[in-house]
């Protein structure tokens, strides 16, 4: 019997991936770029045990047994086993039992599948002693999972080979490159989204007229510009590009027929709040991005965390302030004297996760 336990982080894209060139291999229509978040606050944790006593492969997710016959899961298992056999000229006998859990809402637009599949593939690579780049394997489970196998700021290169061999993740800058950058996950809903990302992408590619303009003009220019902004730690440039790309992604979803809506009224109120906050503070102090869900991811310098959260608490006051923010500690100050914010959605932001830029997957334990 052999066992490994690993964790892998969430990543939140600032230049989004939306739409596939190849559905089976999960090759994207465009490159994307993300920020890996700290797994101390947001992570998947997976334990995989290999034993000759097991008669079949099995998987449990968040305490519930799931089907092992999921084609994406099978692709990851098969590819790691294929690499192990090629690398070591043999394959350990036995089947695996996989136990995985997330410490954040699943299927609510917080990149749970990215963390989950990155953790699965990383753990399998340790179990079977597979070396080399594993991002292309993680991609076969969930596209954005390839970005979660690396820390810091990560670009997923779409690639040009039909096999998908060159569709993989590369690091733009490590986590330590921008130590002042913080991230706030504003949890608006824990509910599973009504339209899964895969279905939404397919519908958008098939019906949106705006999609072509995004792929041909917007994304390439933004990728170059935001890479430069990251390397220079230019927050104002980074923030504007991040917000513009998020806005465009959801505009493309609205242009889909029938429309795909991931944001809700609270989400849009948070967009307005960020812009108003920046206007009142006389500069770009915070920026938002939304994946396929209503929950906001807000990037901002460390000095802005407390004052910005004080504003969010005024606009969407929580029922109990004491337990509202988890993750990195923060003390909310009073609003500046004379500053008034309209209360819009009491309880609209259910909770806040305060985190930083983080490293990639971690091996916690290995035993034989």
Model pLDDT for residues 107-121, shown as the tens digit of each residue: 445 667 899 999 999
The full set of domains in the chain, from first to last, is 2-175 (3.30.230.10), 181-356 (3.30.70.890)
Give residue 319's pLDDT band: very low, low, confident or very high (50, 70, 90): confident
Angstrom distance (rounded) from CA 360 to CA 346: 36
- Number of C-beta neighbours around residue 367 at 10 A: 9
Q: Distance (Å, rounded) from C-alpha 230 to C-alpha 236?
A: 10
pLDDT of 342 higher than 90: yes
Residue range 265-290, pLDDT digits in tens:
999 999 999 999 999 999 999 999 99
Q: Strand, coil or helix: what is 63?
A: coil
- pLDDT the model gives residue 103: 84
Report in angstroms the alpha-carbon separations of 367 from 44, 52, 120, 363.
Answer: 20, 15, 17, 11
Task: Give the integer Cα–Cα distance in Å for 238 and 228.
Answer: 9
Question: What is each CA distance from 252 to 78, 195, 206, 222, 248, in whole angstroms?
Answer: 35, 15, 12, 16, 6
Report pLDDT for 109: 53
> Which tokens sit at 323?
């337990």
Select the more confidently predicted residue: 103 or 83: 83
CA distance 27 to 50: 30
Contacts of 141 (CB under 8 A, 6+ apart): 72, 73, 75, 76, 113, 116, 117, 120, 121
pLDDT category of residue 79 using cuts at 50, 70 and 90: very high
User: What percentage of the chain carries pLDDT values higher than 90?
Assistant: 91
- Does the pTM surpass 0.85? The reply is yes
Residue among 48, 132, 135 at smallest CA distance from 92: 48
Q: Are 156 and 168 in contact (CB under 8 A)?
A: yes
Question: What 3-state class would DSSP assign to 261?
Answer: coil
- Is the pLDDT reported for residue 305 higher than 60? yes
Distance (Å, whole) CA 160 – CA 219: 17
Whether 68 and 57 have beta carbons less than 8 Å apart is answered as yes
How many other CB atoms are found less than 10 A from the CB of residue 119?
A: 33
pLDDT band at 231 (very low <50, low <70, confident <90, very high): very high
The answer on pLDDT for 44 being more than 50 is yes
Hunting for tokens 């209503």 — which residue is that? 294
What is the arithmetic mean of pLDDT over 250-263? 96
Q: What number is the average pLDDT over the span 144-149? A: 96
User: What are phi and psi for residue 54, nearest 5 degrees?
Assistant: -80, 130
């Amino acid at each position: 019997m052999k066992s490994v336990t690993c964790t892998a982080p969430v990543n939140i894209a600032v230049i989004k991936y939306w739409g596939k060139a190849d559905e089976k291999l999960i090759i994207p229509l465009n490159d994307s770029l993300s920020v890996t978040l700290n797994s101390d606050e947001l992570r998947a944790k997976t334990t995989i045990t290999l034993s000759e006593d097991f008669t079949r492969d099995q998987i449990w997710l968040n305490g519930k047994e799931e089907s092992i016959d999921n084609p994406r899961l099978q692709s990851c298992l098969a590819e790691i086993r294929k690499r192990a056999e090629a690398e070591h000229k043999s394959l350990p006998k036995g089947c695996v039992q996989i136990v995985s859990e997330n410490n954040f809402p699943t299927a609510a637009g917080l990149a749970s599948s990215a963390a989950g599949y990155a953790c699965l593939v990383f753990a399998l690579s340790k179990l079977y002693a597979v070396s080399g780049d594993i991002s292309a394997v993680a991609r076969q489970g969930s596209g954005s999972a390839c970005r979660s196998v690396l820390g810091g700021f990560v670009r997923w290169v779409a690639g040009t080979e039909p096999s998908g061999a060159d569709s993989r993740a590369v690091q733009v800058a490590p986590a330590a490159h921008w130590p002042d950058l913080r991230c706030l996950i504003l949890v608006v809903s824990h509910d599973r989204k009504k339209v899964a990302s895969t279905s939404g992408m397919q519908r958008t590619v098939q019906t949106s007229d705006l999609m072509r303009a995004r792929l041909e003009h917007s994304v390439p220019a933004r990728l170059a510009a935001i890479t430069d902004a990251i390397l220079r730690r230019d927050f104002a440039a980074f923030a504007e590009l991040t917000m513009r790309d998020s806005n465009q992604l959801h505009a493309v979803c609205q242009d889909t027929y029938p429309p795909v809506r991931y944001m809700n009224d609270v989400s849009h109120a948070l967009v307005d709040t960020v812009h108003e906050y920046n206007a009142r503070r006389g500069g770009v102090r915070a920026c938002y991005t939304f994946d396929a869900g209503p929950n906001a991811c807000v990037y901002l310098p460390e000095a802005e965390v407390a004052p910005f959260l004080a504003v969010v608490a005024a606009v969407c006051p929580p029922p109990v302030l004491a337990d509202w923010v988890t993750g990195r500690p923060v003390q909310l100050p009073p609003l500046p004297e004379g500053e008034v914010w309209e209360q819009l959605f009491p309880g609209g932001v259910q909770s806040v996760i305060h985190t930083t830029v983080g490293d990639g997957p971690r091996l916690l334990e290995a035993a034989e």
